[in-house]
Structures are given as C-alpha cells and as structure tokens.
Amino acid sequence: MVKVRLFTAFHVPMEPLSNVLQELGYLREVKTVNKDSLHVTIIFIGEVEDGIVPMLKERLSSLHMKPVKLELNSVGAFPTQSNPRVIWVGLRGDINPLHQLRKEQEQILREMRIPFDSKPFSPHVTIGRVKERPSKGIPQFIERYVETKFGEFIVQGFRLMKSTLTPQGPIYETLLEVEAR
C-alpha cells in the first residue's frame, strides 16, 4: 500500500502577515513560508496507509466546531530565540475550542489505532524556517515583533491535509474540509 503524510489544520489569511513576511524574506538565512500555505497545525498525524483515509475523512467530518475569533500576535522562535530553527506568529483569543477540537481528533485517531504526534498543542503559524546558522538579524527581527498585534481573523473550520515533501518545500493538498457551524 501507498503511504501518505497527513495532518489537520486551519487556514490563516495572509493579509495581516504580509508585511512581516516580506521583512522576514530579507534575512538570507530564512526561507519564508509560501503565503498560500499559512496554517495552524492542529495535529500532525504523519505517514499512514492511504487505504484508511476514507474512514478517517468520514470520522473527522462528524466533528462539530463553532467559528472561533483569534488574534495574530507576537513573533517567536522554536526551539529558542537565540537558536531559532522555526520562526512563528502566536495566536491569542478563544483558544479553548481549538484545544477541545484537538482532543476530539486525538480520540478518533486512538479509536482507529492511528499513531500521531502527541506533543502538546501549541497554536502558532510558522512563517519561516532557518536554513543555515542564524545571524544576529533573526533575534533582532523577533525582538522587534515580540508584542506586535497583526490582526484578527475567524477560524471557519478545519482541514485534513496531505503533505508531500519536495526539495522546494512541502506541497499541501486538502483532502477534507469541515466547516464551522
């Protein structure tokens, strides 16, 4: 059987982040995320047999969520600001429904005996990946935007995504879209 790499996520609009993405792009050691790929991962599932995807889609489509208003706020880095590998924008607002959605998705995956990444849910939008030893420009960039409010948006649902890794970066394909109601 063929394996596919999956995760669930919700889309993040590019408009509030356009200026910070443009400025981040000036740092030569950072590869910015494609503006059409901005998302918040709810749960990273990883590689699974493609034969289980129809049942997974059916189970995930049964989940209900209401629209959630969030604020894009602050820039940070993983694992640390002094040794960044990933640069992100944080979220504030009504995060609790997203934690509940994550728990419900975990339950479905457990019931289906599908392994998943069990790291705690840390809602953020990845905006760049550091591709070489960082310069002083990255911590300065992060410090400049550490308490910046970029704008608000409403989460209108979630998606089951397929990720195909390529040398140019990941290619994402939406396999299921579940609208908030």
Domain-by-domain residue ranges, the chain? 3-179
pLDDT score recorded for residue 153: 95
pLDDT score recorded for residue 38: 94
Write the class of the CATH domain 3-179.
alpha beta
Q: Which residue has the tokens 């960039």?
A: 141
pLDDT score recorded for residue 81: 84
Collapse the DSSP code of 63 into the 3-class scheme (helix H, G, I; strand E, B; otherwise coil) and give the result.
Answer: coil
pLDDT score recorded for residue 90: 95
pLDDT score recorded for residue 40: 97
Q: Which residue has the tokens 């602050």?
A: 74
Say whether 11 is catalytic.
Answer: no
Return phi, psi of residue 54, to 5°.
-60, -45
pLDDT score recorded for residue 169: 80
**61 vs 177: CA distance, rounded Å:** 8
Span 25-50, average pLDDT: 93
% of the chain at pLDDT higher than 90: 80
pLDDT digits (tens, 9 = 90+) for 122-179: 999 999 999 887 678 888 999 999 889 999 999 999 999 999 998 888 899 999 999 9
Q: What is the pTM of this model?
A: 0.92
Collapse the DSSP code of 119 into the 3-class scheme (helix H, G, I; strand E, B; otherwise coil) and give the result.
Answer: coil
DSSP 64-109: ----EEEEEEEEEEEE-SSSEEEEEEEEEE--HHHHHHHHHHHHHH
Token pair in block for residue 161: 């995504």
Answer yes or no: are the C-beta atoms of 48 and 4 closer than 8 Å: yes
Say whether 124 is catalytic.
Answer: yes
Name the residue among 90, 121, 123 with its Cα closest to residue 106: 121
**7 vs 42: CA distance, rounded Å:** 7
pLDDT digits (tens, 9 = 90+) for 145-155: 988 999 999 99
pLDDT digits (tens, 9 = 90+) for 52-82: 999 999 999 999 999 999 999 999 999 988 8
Distances (CA, A) of 14 to 18, 56, 84: 6, 29, 22
